[in-house]
Amino acid sequence: MSGFVSFVSSGPGDPELLTVKAVKRLQAADVVLYDDLSSGPILDLARPGAQLIPVGKRAGRPSARQDQVNRLLVKHAASGVQVVRLKSGDAGIFGRLEEEVAVLSAAGVPFEIVPGVTSAAAAAAGAGIPLTRRLTARRVQFLTGADVTGRLPDDLNWPALADPGATTVIYMGKRTFPMLAKALLAHGLPPETPALLAHGVSTPAERLERFTITGLAAHLEGAENTSPALILYGPLAGGAVPARPPE
């Protein structure tokens, strides 16, 4: 088999945040299977004539099933072409990378993983804040706010998530954050803890809103939550702008 798959991390959306290796792989690919959040100007970097196949998943919308994506990867690689599996953010963070790697390994398909900028780093940069600080924010933790059913996971480490000295980043958590915030308060996280809601990170549509965790929970309660966003809370999330009080 002469086919090859490159798992390319497309970053949070700004094409200029792609790595040099990511751009080279896109320019050499015969087939590009891309996530919804990796579309737009990033696809303009693909080789002219490359076959572009959307395989993204979006909550509440028709999406490609994971087994379909797996079959497409093996099918195209088996035909002897260079395949790019373009994943949003960093491929290794909540991107189902391991499932696709396992399928390729079982089929004997060679592959590589090209890391990239995760949206957590881009959101912090856009807000003008670091993710860590000496003494007061020594730890960073990433969390998915939804399990495979779309609900808040029921096996979370609450003491860790309620640690006021950690920076916590929640992916796919808008829908479940009101419930999460209630549990955080019950486990001792101060209600005035700063929180940042980041939409369209690194794109022209970027919008950053600062709250407290109680204010953000009230803001998201019953709101339309189909657009993707990132939530960051902890001692650094307030930045230089005062946090919005509870609503």
Closest CA to 145 of 214, 229, 213: 229
Q: Rounded to 10 degrees, what is the CA torsion of 170, 131, 167, 132?
A: 160
- Tracing tokens 């088999």 back to the chain, one arrives at 1
CA separation, residue 77 to residues 24, 31, 210, 212 (Å):
18, 9, 45, 48
Write out the catalytic residue numbers: 35, 57, 172
CA-nearest of 238, 13, 213, 243 to 129 is 238
Strand locations in 48-155, DSSP E?
Answer: 51-54, 82-87, 111-114, 139-144
Apex CA 243: angle with CA 142 and CA 127, to 5°?
55
Give the span between the Cα atoms of 92 and 81, in whole angstroms: 24
What is the arrangement of strands in the sheet containing 139-144, beginning at the earlier edge strand? 139-144, 166-171, 229-233, 194-199, 207-212
